[in-house]
Amino acid sequence: MTAPVDTSDPKQLGADTDGTQFMTFHDLAYDAGKTVFQRKAQPVGQGREGELLEVAMGPQHPSTHGVFRMDVVLDGETVVKLKPVFGYLHRNHEKIAENTSYLGSMPYTDRLDYFCSLTNNWAYALSVEKLAGLQVPERAEYIRLITAELTRVLNHTCLAGFLLQDMGALGTPLMYAFREREKILDLIESLTGARMMCNYMRFGGCRCDLPAGWLDEAKKVVAEYPKFLDEFDALLSGNEILMARTQGVGKLSAELAISAGITGPMLRASGVDYDLRKVDNYGLYSRYPFRVPLGSHGDVYDRYMIRMLEMRESLKILEPALKDIPEGPVVDPKAKLRGFRPKPGEAYGRIESPKGELGFYLISDGSPNPYRYRVRPPSLINLTILEDMCLGQTVADAIVTLGSVDIVLGEVDR
Amino acid sequence: METLEQTKARAEAAVPGAQLSVVKNDSPSAQHSLLVDVEHAYAVAKFLRDDPQLRLDYCSNVTGVDFLDAELSEKVKVKKVVDGVEKEVEEVKKTKRAGYLEAVYHLYSMSLKHGPVILRQRTPGRADLVKVTSLTPLWRSCEFQEREVFDLYGVLFDGHPDLRRILMWDGFKDYPMRKDYVEPDDYEYEPTPHDEVLEKAKAHQAAQEVKA
């Protein structure tokens, strides 16, 4: 169908952070040079002036992934203008957090990006640890690494399913994705007691230790996961319809991506080598070698492919980490849970969440409540250039472009 | 990466007239920040972005902070004549600080992979003098975040292309993230009110009786 990737051509490959290793876009055929189907440029407004149609897509639209609204101006089927409208799920999370204790908003962070509550927990715990200068025991660091990578795999699996759903592949890919997600959710449930609202991390460690036999179960899930990815790849990645719907759609240049503060898989699909796991070296990521996949076109297909590749890299971290995890306490014995009052000051901590850079900015005035609590939501900021990506495309492509951004409205609106 | 003092000195040299000061942060994170005056904020930010040593091409986080009017007390040693003998006496000196709003920017470099450099702009007051300079023309990522700061704190960004409310609805009047924000009195009838709700209910019942 398409020519295989020429591995000697660095343009077709992604670079590792240190610039030494390269990785291919997997062994599947990915025609990096040209799109499979050439699109015709759509003439805008020729002889049809004054026939623009204004449509409010959302907030109750099945493909906006929640209560999100796009006010779209259409010329025929072509998008001429697009304004995103937010706030339908706004509950002023930050104000609520400023009126409660530091620990009190830990369960509330679960509700930000409810697909990845464990990474939300970690980002918040990391920021508070920076603010108060707390240490985390090694075993807790391992648990954080393992749960965060499991969350990443879970999130990317679901995203692939949802993206295909947006393209009209109703049911099958999403059901396959959810079947696998359920296995990871079972692990998370047996560890934290909740499938999605985990409330698991604490300042200076984690809430509870792993239950007996958990590591073996996790190893089993991780060992079987590549089989599912192969299946998923065989089903989707080389699919002609998927390529036709995604290649060359929703293009984003590296320059604009950097200026607009795009982070996560979406940034790397545009070819910018910036992964906080490598840059900030938080947690134990420096102990495990993994590669950062990079795209070269910045289109929807690259964004899809980056996520498929990132899952394999996450499994590469998980496999040895599950073997290496040492015995020991899971929370710093000196960490105070009650009456926790950090000294006056401020801190900004950030991690690479599955959606992008998730940061928490905290100001303490010495009281039990944070004086200022701010969430830097990757989902909201990744939407900054939604209009730029969708202009001149058809409505159907705008839907796919939005799907590839990977938003969760709990985090966009806060 | 160079220290914040070095950055400050170079920025002062590059932008004549800019008033910069370092805001110390005593917490273990030790993330000190650079306070810049509103007039020169754009030029200083442009310097930080384009300087080859810094290249802060990525504005990660933009947020507002509200500081109310406050009375600061400071212990000062004063020489006083007590019973004919000169003595050093500690006195508490009280100064009034007018409230202000801040816009805080966390800048990183994607090309050189360092950061953060934290930039702050301060408004002169909280009521009407609430203008700062928008940095959206420099970093597109500020667009929605500055709108959010305007929406929740009421900071006006000079030079922002599209300063509208983003999370609250357009007809909303107040700024909910401010420290002195009072929630609207959304009274709902309760069959057995108690404590705070009872107090609230009494006011509403009194109003009802007056009407009747």
User: What CATH number does residue A264 fall under?
Assistant: 1.10.645.10
Percent of chain A with pLDDT over 70: 88
Residue A337 lies in a domain: yes
Would you call B169 and A343 a contact, using CB atoms and an 8 Å cutoff?
A: no
Residues 24-53 on A with a CB inside 8 Å of B are: none
Residue A1 resides in a domain? no
The one-letter amino acid at A184: I
Does the pLDDT value for residue A395 go beyond 60? yes
- Give the confidence band of B54 by pLDDT, cuts at 50, 70, 90: confident
**Could you give the CA distance from residue B154 to residue B28 in angstroms, rounded to a whole number?**
31
Is A99 in the B-facing interface, judged by CB distances under 8 Å?
no
What is the count of structural domains for chain A? 1
Phi, psi of A381 (to 5 degrees): -75, -30
- Chain B neighbors of A347, CB-CB under 8 A: 27, 29, 31
Spatial separation of the C-alpha atoms in residues A378 and A37, rounded to whole Å: 32
Which of B60, B106, B143 has its CB closest to that of A384? B143
Residue B104 at interface with chain A, using a CB cutoff of 8 Å: yes
Q: Which pLDDT score is estimated for A47? A: 52
* Inside any domain, residue A414: no
The pLDDT of residue A16: 43
Average pLDDT, chain B: 86
**Per-residue pLDDT for A299 more than 60?**
yes
Q: Is the dihedral of CA A342, B113, A254, A173 positive or negative?
A: negative
Contacts of A364 in chain B (CB under 8 A): 27
Decide if A160 is inside a domain. Answer: yes
User: Residue A394 and residue A169: Cα distance in Å, rounded?
Assistant: 18
At residue A50, the pLDDT reads 59
Boundaries of domain holding A338: 10-406
Of B29, B60, B166, the CB nearest to A130: B29
In Å, how far are A64, B11, B94 from B73, measured between CA atoms?
53, 33, 4
CB of B166 within 8 Å of a chain A CB? The answer is yes
In-domain check, residue A384: yes
Q: To the nearest whole angstrom, how far is the Cα of B191 from the nearest Cα of chain A?
A: 27
Q: What is the CA radius of gyration of chain B?
A: 24
Residues of A in contact with B139 (CB under 8 A): 259-261
Residue A124 lies in a domain: yes
Most B CBs within 10 A among A88, A272, A374, hence the mutation to make, goes to A374
ipTM over 0.90: no
CB-CB under 8 Å, B144 with A361: no
Query: Is B35 in contact with B8 (CB distance < 8 Å)?
Result: no
Does the residue A411 lie in any domain?
no
Q: Name the closest residue on chain B to residue A342, using Cα atoms.
A: B27
Region label for A249, one of left (φ > 0), alpha (ψ between -120 and 50) or beta (otherwise): beta
Percentage of chain A modeled with pLDDT above 90: 35
Is A226 part of a structural domain of the chain? yes
Q: Is the pLDDT of residue B63 over 80?
A: yes
